[in-house]
Structure 1
Amino acid sequence: MEKKRIMLIASLDGSLIRFRGDFIKSLVDSGFEVYTAAPDYTDEFREKINNLGATTLEYNLQRTGLNPFKDFKSILELKALMKDHKIDLVFPYTVKPVIYGSMAANMCKIPVISLITGLGYTFTGLSTKAKILQRFNETLYKLSIRKNRVIVFQNKDDHQLFLDRKVISKQQKVDFVSGSGVNLNQFSFKEKNATDKVSFLLVARLIKEKGIALYMEAAKILKAKYPKAEFHLIGVPETSPSAISLDDINDLHEKEVIVFHGPQTNIPEHLNARDIFVLPSYYREGLPRTTLEACACGNPIITTDSVGCRESVKEGINGFLIEPQSLDALIKPMEFFITNPEKIKEMGKNSREYAEERFDVNIINNDLITLIKRELNI
């Protein structure tokens, strides 16, 4: 029997390896012919994707902003790729690939399983601009995904929002997965041992919505009170309007308040070297990959009781959920771990057990492949 052809559509080539690499390999191992579509591949990521057994295809995409002419061109390019490569099913993820990929596939009458990985800044409602963009994106979602075979969500809150805003109907077929999953071998467990030098780690885009500024403020207060405590930060400098000033970060680094590592590729090593993972995000997350990786490595989690983030914590068991945008709420659990370091080991073990139970990438990928096979009747 001829292999069925699956096209994954992404907005960044690197995300196909970091977030979908195991999924691509599982699809290939399951007998599918896999194509990945993304803009501007680097030689490094093209080679990595090809080594997984997939074929890389390029299309143009304006990742930020709205330009109707460029956006329509992206749709036409994706449509041409689907027709030229006789794609049997399209699997887009993140906002623009879901919207434009679904529109292109609908034009070709190709089935789509779309993955909603989080709604991001535009659905935070934190500014007039965000509210305007939310309405616009809602309209685009309505136009693009109503005919999709299945819409896969990473949390119940996003599904409910789509229902409440009438983006989808109650009759629309939906499914749920616990994020993109985490490779439990790559992110291996390391037991934490109590010391008087408790260390915290935040890994995220360096933007305000990820709670970076809040973490920096907490570090200043706690470092003055507990000089041995360490506050580590990993992230790529941003150019967006909500970017955190690199000068401010470097200033705290020079004053030895925080330890700024810049961008890093060896995240498992950093997680294993640190005690507690912190993500005080008020960004509209799907299910943050970083918290899943921290769970797998055996780090207790401090994150916000907000959409997506709350999925990674069993309150008081493997970490704590805090009120978003509250400095006092963030400081309280951080100080708890500094003054009760023996709890780190116990809660870290609980994090690993939770990852094995719910976030194993093999479980997530098997669920998605079962869904794909069902929709293709194979």
Structure 2
Amino acid sequence: MKVIICLNTAWNLVNFRAGLIRALVAQGHEVVAVAPHDAYADRLAALGCRFVPLPMDNRGTHPGRDGLLLWRFWRLLRQERPDVYLGYTVKPNVYGSLAAHWLGIPVINNIAGLGAVFIKDGWLVKLVRGLYRLALGRSARVFFQNDDDRQMFVAGGLVRAEVVGLLPGSGVDLTRFVVAPMPVIASEARQSTKSGDMDCNGADAPRNDGHKFRFLLIARMLWDKGVGEYVEAAQLLRQRWPQAEFCLLGFVDVQNPAAISRTQMDTWVAQGHVSYLGVSDDVRTHIAQADCVVLPSYREGTPRTLLEAAAMGLPIITTDAVGCREVVQHGHNGLLCRPRDAQDLADKMERMLRLTPAQRAVMGINGRKKMEAEFDEQIVIDRYLAAVREVVGQQPGLPRR
């Protein structure tokens, strides 16, 4: 088969869909990866697929530019004539799907997260809902990454209940993201787990052993990722916890209405409360150097960075919000805080600071077990391969129609 897989950035394809692309290629399918060209586009060839650049305005909602994008999708799909179209992120899901439907190409969508648009109400939400209703109405399969989003789309009549499915996010590669060795602490932790879930009350006083305890937030630098609340929490904690450091890793000035500017980031760093680590092609090194990964997002599909941190045995702090709460069992493998509440986030971060290393290691071990049981990337890949076969009417070992 020929499979087109489309996202809003080549970076997204390389970092989140490499496993699926490799699996499709391994089964003998021709895979065409479609996205705007960026610095990561050249890496797609190593996955065995062909890259086709498609410009799209990821930041705006200008009707003229979006109309042009719809025409570009239609022209591309008419030329390529794939057996199935896999769409991810808003504009490929909407405009790519509409073009595929017009050309009679089966469509599999993935609603990875609804982003800033669905957090607020207003005319833009109504417009996006209407576009989703048009785009998903004829899709063969629509995958969601959390049950809240699935229920909202079905209840709102945006998608038919019989075509929806639920995935554990994009999954995590458990062979790449492994627990960093901590022999003494891990040994203590294994002893602690025998008594069940840990007590999160922790120590009564801050540690004073000179260790620089590192909190790390990994995300695109967007306001709705809770970056502002994270910086405010750091400001609240710095005086009481001088041995703690608060780091940020991810792109600034991205094409998104909620983007945080480089100027704003430079201002925060100059104030001395947080450190900006830039971007990384391999976050494993940064996760291994952290003590706790934090993501105070307002809403997610299922955040990949939290899956990766948990797979590497780190405790995590995130919000009791759609898509985030699925990753954390409060007090077991991390802590949940209230969304948009810097004080509550600071309280949870301080609670993490007051735990002993062995107690945090217990959380890390619990997180790794949760990833193995629920979020293995192979689960996602297998469901996609099955969906592709079903959608195009092809069974293993049978010829193409």
TM-score, scaled to structure 1 = 0.91
The aligned length equals: 367
Q: Does 2:357 correspond to 1:362?
A: no
For 1:6, what is the secondary structure of its paired residue?
Answer: strand
1:9 alignment counterpart: 6
Aligned counterpart for 1:321 among listed residues 327, 336, 356: 336
Q: Secondary structure at the match of 1:147?
A: coil
User: Residues 167-220 of structure 1: CA distance to partner in whole angstroms, max 9, x if unpaired?
Assistant: 1243x4111111111222222211457675322111122222111111111112
Which residues of 2 match residues 222-371 of structure 1 at below 5 A?
Answer: 222-238=237-253, 242-244=258-260, 246-247=262-263, 249-254=265-270, 256-282=272-298, 284-342=299-357, 343-371=359-387
For 1:214 and 1:67, locate their aligned partners in 2 and report how far apart those are by CA, in whole Å: 30
Residues of 2 paired with 1:211 and 1:316: CA distance?
21
Equivalent position of 1:119 in the other structure: 114
Q: Distance in 1 between matches of 2:41 and 2:260?
A: 31
Of 144, 153, 156 in structure 2, the residue corresponding to residue 153 of structure 1 is 144
- Deviation of 1:246 (Å): 4.2
**Shift in Å, 1:330:** 0.9
Equivalence for 2:163: 173
Whichever residue aligns with residue 371 of structure 2, its letter is A
For 2:66 and 2:258, locate their aligned partners in 1 and report how far apart those are by CA, in whole Å: 24
Q: What does residue range 128-207 of structure 1 map to in structure 2 within 5 Å?
A: 131-170=122-161, 172-191=162-181, 196-207=211-222
Classify 1:22/1:328 alpha carbon distance in 2 versus 1 (closer, same or farther; 3 Å). Answer: same
**Residue 231 of structure 1 aligns to a residue in which SS?**
strand
Checking the alignment, whether the CA contact within 8 Å between 2:145 and 2:323 is kept in structure 1 is: yes
Say which of 27, 32, 57 aligns to 1:30: 27
Secondary structure, aligned partner of 1:225: coil
**Cα displacement string for residues 212-260 of structure 1 (whole angstroms, at most 9, x for unaligned residues):** 1111111122121011112111122226554445455435434543222
Matches of 1:77 and 1:206, distance apart in 2: 29
Aligned to 1:81, the other structure's residue is in SS state helix
State whether residues 198 and 337 of structure 1, in contact with CA within 8 Å, keep that contact through their aligned partners in structure 2.
no
TM-superposed deviation, 1:165: 2.1
Q: Deviations over 1:273-301 (max 9, x none)?
A: 1010101111x311111111111111111
CA distance in structure 1 between the partners assigned to 2:28 and 2:261 by the alignment: 47
> Would the alpha carbon gap of residues 260 and 62 (structure 1) be closer, same or farther in structure 2, given more than 3 Å must change?
closer
Distance 2:94 2:257 in 1: 24
Q: Distance in 2 between matches of 1:8 and 1:246?
A: 31
Distance 1:165 1:109, change over 3 A: same
Distance in 1, matches of 2:105 and 2:368, equals 40
Residue type matched to 1:315 in 2?
H
Q: 1:246/1:225 Cα in 2 relative to 1: closer, same or farther (>3 Å)?
A: farther
Unaligned runs of 5+ in 2: 186-208, 396-401
Residue pair 2:11, 2:41 contacting (<8 A) in 1 also? no
Could you list the per-position Cα deviations for residues 313-341 of structure 1 after superposition, in whole angstroms to 9, with x for gaps in the alignment? 11211001111111232122211121113
CA distance in 2, matches of 1:370, 1:324: 36
Q: Greater shift after overlay, 183-192 or 303-312?
A: 183-192
C-alpha contact 1:191 1:298 (8 A) present in aligned 2: no
**Partner secondary structure for residue 361 of structure 2:** helix
Q: 2-side partners of 1:313 and 1:339: how far apart?
A: 19
What is the deviation of 1:80?
2.4
**Given residue 21 of structure 1, which amino acid in structure 2 is its aligned partner?**
A
Letter in 2 for 1:147: R
**8 Å Cα contact 1:198-1:341 kept in structure 2:** no
- Segment of structure 1 superposing worse, 70-79 or 130-139: 70-79
Residue 83 of structure 2 is matched in structure 1 by 88
Contact 1:213 1:244 in 2 (8 A): no
Alpha carbons 2:116, 2:258 under 8 Å: kept: no
Shift of 1:51: 1.8
Shift in Å at residue 33 of structure 1? 1.0
Stretches (4+) displaced over 6 A: none
User: Aligned partners of 1:309 and 1:207: how far apart in 2?
Assistant: 16
CA distance in 2, matches of 1:185, 1:33: 26
Paired residues of 2:3 and 2:86 also in contact (CA < 8 A): yes
What amino acid does structure 2 have at the position aligned with 1:84? Q
In 2 relative to 1, CA 105–245 (structure 1 residues): closer, same or farther, beyond 3 Å?
Answer: closer
- TM-superposed deviation, 1:45: 2.9
RMSD: 1.9
Q: Secondary structure at the match of 2:248?
A: strand
- Find the aligned partners of 1:187 and 1:367 in 2 and give their Cα distance: 21
**Deviations, residues 107-127 of structure 1 (Å, cap 9, x unaligned):** 1111101110111011001xx
State the alpha-carbon separation in 1 of the partners of residues 111 and 258 from structure 2: 23
- Give structure 1 stretches of 5+ with no counterpart: none
